[in-house]
């Protein structure tokens, strides 16, 4: 296989990034079968990915050497999902140590195209160093709107130049405003000189301003506004290639890459006893949690609403998220009452999210608005109750509410106490109110748009994202071949 027909994908060391990259790698391999497609990561991540690939897969997996102990990380730390916030920062900074190993791989493989993560912006410089016309593309695993807002906030710090609670964000229309409560705790206090802030700013500048093009895990028909802003501000070609997730029902995998049969069976059996659209699914992602007092307030509010629910629950803020959950973090007897009344179940650590969202009994998703969760919810036609907690989640929630009309916000962040009355009001509105009906209608429309984007019908008609993937690959490979011929 000629090097010019080799595509290399390199995600950041986080499960929420690796899985979309895996989906894109499989999609490219499926559509361009004569190409070699290789996905890079560290040894432990590669070992987990091998469990997800079918025996007949032609996708190549390649591990780059990494030793977390050289960066003051706990043993076997190669993925943010298993780390506390302080260690996540160390892992982010440590990811730069992969640079020489990545460049050695490029020297041998000489690929035509590199698709790298936003947080691996230094790969742009590696691509230039290797020469030979190799094309570099950045895949942002967020949506276009969230990526644009995140980029502008980190590069410009607009909240630092005003004392007002609301402020304009550079790159957006004049009437676009953010509130200080829509800024993550770290960004709110950063000034750009801190090691993590300097790292993030450098990766953004390289990956979104110096790359040859951008791939975005979204759909043109849903995010036309965000895509237009991203194109105008980066001056790069932006290719929407989403949604990068399974669109048909399938067995979910837990964070170790293994099927979790007990949780799957428990959740599906419980769902089967609910009426259509009656259940609220609650999950804050694999790296987020709320405070103990907020957890208690949410439990009280759920009990008052009498809404059926499945709650994926982890220890609260300040405790080991991967540790054992203690009953003391909830109202006394709450779990037993919910079980006895057949109102709700608490699932420790992990639940089969795709199956739950696919099930007809699920009416809405109370989510932190991480982009993978947003796409999973919309691809199943489910409206959302937003509780953004970190990173670009605040911007995703804003878009879901103001641009798509598929969401209502119940809270922001972990610093403010949660009002029980608001829980009851918002959940009641989304699950049973007229506003909720309209959200479900719009979510159903989004579902069809997401699925249409990934369809290819007889006669050659391609969905917008399928067409975008094909055009990107052919354009990038053609450019590489032309440059090699000139050289």
Task: Please state whether beta strands 60-63 and 36-41 pair in parallel, antiparallel, or not at all (unpaired).
Answer: parallel
117: annotated active-site residue: yes
DSSP lists the bridge partners of residue 115 as 9, 137
Distance CA 143, CA 158 (A): 21
Encode 406-456 in three state secondary structure.
Answer: CEEECCCCCCCCCCHHHHHHHHHHHHHCHHHHHHHHHHHHHHHHHHHHCCE
Contact assessment for residue 266 and residue 273, using Cβ atoms and an 8 Å cutoff? no
327: annotated active-site residue: no
17, 136, 159, 359: the active-site residue? 17
6, 81, 87, 117: the active-site residue? 117
Residues noted as catalytic: 17, 117
């Amino acid at each position: 296989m000629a090097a010019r027909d080799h595509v290399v994908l390199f995600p950041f060391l986080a499960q929420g990034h690796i899985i979309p990259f895996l989906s894109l790698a499989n999609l490219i391999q499926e559509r361009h079968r004569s190409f070699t497609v290789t996905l890079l990561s560290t040894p432990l991540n590669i070992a987990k990915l091998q469990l997800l690939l079918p025996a007949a897969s032609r996708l190549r997996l390649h591990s780059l050497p990494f030793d977390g102990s050289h960066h003051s990380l706990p043993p076997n730390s190669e993925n943010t999902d298993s780390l506390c916030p302080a260690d996540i920062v160390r892992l982010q900074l440590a990811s730069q140590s992969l640079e020489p190993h990545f460049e050695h791989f490029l020297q041998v493989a000489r690929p035509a195209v590199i698709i790298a993560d936003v947080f691996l912006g230094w790969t742009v410089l590696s691509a230039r160093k290797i020469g030979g016309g190799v094309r570099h593309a950045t895949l942002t695993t967020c949506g276009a709107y969230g990526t644009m807002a995140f980029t502008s906030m980190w590069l410009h710090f607009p909240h630092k130049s005003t004392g007002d609670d609301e402020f304009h964000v550079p790159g957006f229309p004049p009437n676009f405003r953010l509130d200080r409560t829509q800024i993550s705790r770290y960004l709110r206090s950063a000034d750009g000189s801190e090691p993590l802030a300097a790292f993030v700013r450098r990766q953004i500048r390289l990956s979104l301003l110096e790359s040859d093009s951008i791939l975005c895990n979204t759909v043109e028909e849903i995010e036309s506004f965000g895509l237009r802003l991203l194109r105008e501000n980066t001056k790069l070609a932006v290719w929407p290639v989403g949604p990068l997730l399974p669109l048909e029902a399938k067995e979910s995998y837990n964070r170790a890459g293994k099927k979790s049969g007990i949780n799957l069976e428990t959740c599906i059996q419980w769902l089967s006893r609910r009426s259509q659209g009656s259940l609220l699914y609650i999950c804050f992602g694999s790296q987020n949690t709320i405070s103990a007092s907020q957890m208690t307030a949410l439990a009280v509010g759920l009990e008052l609403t009498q809404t059926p629910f499945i709650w994926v629950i982890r220890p609260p803020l300040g405790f080991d998220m991967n540790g054992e959950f203690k009953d003391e973090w909830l109202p006394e007897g709450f779990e037993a009452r919910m079980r006895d009344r057949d109102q709700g179940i608490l699932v420790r650590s992990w639940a089969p999210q795709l199956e739950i969202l696919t099930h007809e009994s699920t009416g809405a998703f109370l989510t932190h608005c991480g982009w993978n969760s947003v796409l999973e919810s919309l691809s199943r036609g489910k409206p959302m109750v937003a509780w953004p907690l970190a990173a670009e989640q605040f911007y995703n929630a804003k878009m879901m509410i103001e641009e798509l009309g598929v969401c209502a916000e119940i809270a922001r962040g972990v610093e403010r106490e949660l009002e029980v009355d608001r829980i009851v009001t918002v959940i009641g509105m989304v699950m049973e109110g007229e506003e909720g009906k309209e959200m479900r209608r719009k979510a159903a429309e989004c579902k069809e748009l997401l699925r249409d984007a990934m369809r290819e019908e007889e006669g050659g008609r391609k969905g917008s994202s399928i067409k975008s993937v094909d055009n990107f690959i052919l354009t990038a490979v053609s450019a590489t071949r032309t440059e090699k011929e000139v050289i």
